Structure 1
């Protein structure tokens, strides 16, 4: 009988849990589904994560840390970083979705990946001379890069255009980058 690889099992559980909770939230996420998809059993999930809350919190932290690793802040080019965040959320909406569920269902868990955000504010404040403090600047960049993905589809279609049209998406991404540029260097935009 092969030896059990606890780290691999825990990683599989976490990967499946991130997808499950991003799709269904804390209340709708099912431990039984996670166990089945991860090729393990409910008992092992509780052994590794304690309870459903512990698993959700670990999944949230994992999603946020994964995003931070894949799209780290670039203080030398914050407008470009905002565009990269826009692209990331379009390509991989999991971190955004699970974070929204956390805000709705487990707000105490939404503050858990604090170290990840503190590291980003340190990086941004070390390399930036923006008119905003690092926390406000990061908040603005996240808000503007996520806005398209959080806007009701009905509003995106209100002008009769297709929100999934590549040209429209590219134009919105360009607007994200321009908005961050304006907040950082308002006097250098539009020839002023």
Structure 2
């Protein structure tokens, strides 16, 4: 019998949990589905994460940290960064979904990696966006980048167009970039 690879097992559990919680939330997420998908057993969840709460918290933190690594702030071009965040959420909806579940069901998990946000705030603090503070600026960038994905589909269809139409998505992305450009460069 080969020795168990603890790191690989923990990573498989975390991957399976992230997918499960992003799809079903904390309350709807089932440990039995997670362990089946990860090819392990419930004992390992308790060994590595101290239970479902710890596993959910780790999944939320991991998703946010992955996004932060994939789309770091572009202090030299915040409008482009907003577009990149929009693209990331289109490509990887898991992060947005799991953080929304966290806000709804387990707000203590939604207070995830403050260090990540402190670093981003520090990075953009040199951007002259008066009267906005660095935190305000980040809030607006995130809000604009995420809004399309958080808007009810009925509203997106209210004008009779298809929200999945590539040209409509591209136009919305361009509007986000332009809006952030106006926030950062109001005199233009």
Q: Distance in 1 between matches of 2:119 and 2:11?
A: 24
Describe the SS at the equivalent of 1:112: coil
Task: State the shift of 1:115 in Å.
Answer: 1.1
Describe the SS at the equivalent of 1:76: coil
Q: Distance in 1 between matches of 2:71 and 2:181?
A: 18
Q: Distance in 1 between matches of 2:117 and 2:17?
A: 22
Describe the SS at the equivalent of 2:61: helix
The equivalent of 1:112 in structure 2 is 112
Describe the SS at the equivalent of 1:3: coil
Number of residues of Structure 1 aligned to a counterpart in Structure 2: 187
Deviations 1:59-82 (CA, angstroms, capped at 9, x unpaired): 000000000000000000000000
Q: Distance in 2 between matches of 1:186 and 1:130?
A: 8
1:56-95 residue pairs with structure 2 within 5 A?
56-95=56-95
Q: Distance in 2 between matches of 1:86 and 1:112?
A: 20
The equivalent of 1:148 in structure 2 is 148
Q: Distance in 2 between matches of 1:129 and 1:39?
A: 51
Task: State the shift of 1:3 in Å.
Answer: 1.0
Gaps of at least 5 residues in structure 2 are none
Q: Distance in 1 between matches of 2:91 and 2:177?
A: 17
Q: Distance in 2 between matches of 1:79 and 1:167?
A: 19
Q: TM-score, normalised to structure 2's length?
A: 0.98
Q: Distance in 2 between matches of 1:152 and 1:112?
A: 26
Q: TM-score, normalised to structure 1's length?
A: 0.96
The equivalent of 1:130 in structure 2 is 129
For the pair 1:169 / 2:164, whether they are aligned, the reply is: no
Gaps of at least 5 residues in structure 1 are none
Q: Distance in 1 between matches of 2:107 and 2:175?
A: 30
Structure 1 stretches (4+) deviating beyond 6 angstroms? Answer: none
- Give the alignment's Cα RMSD to 1 decimal: 0.7
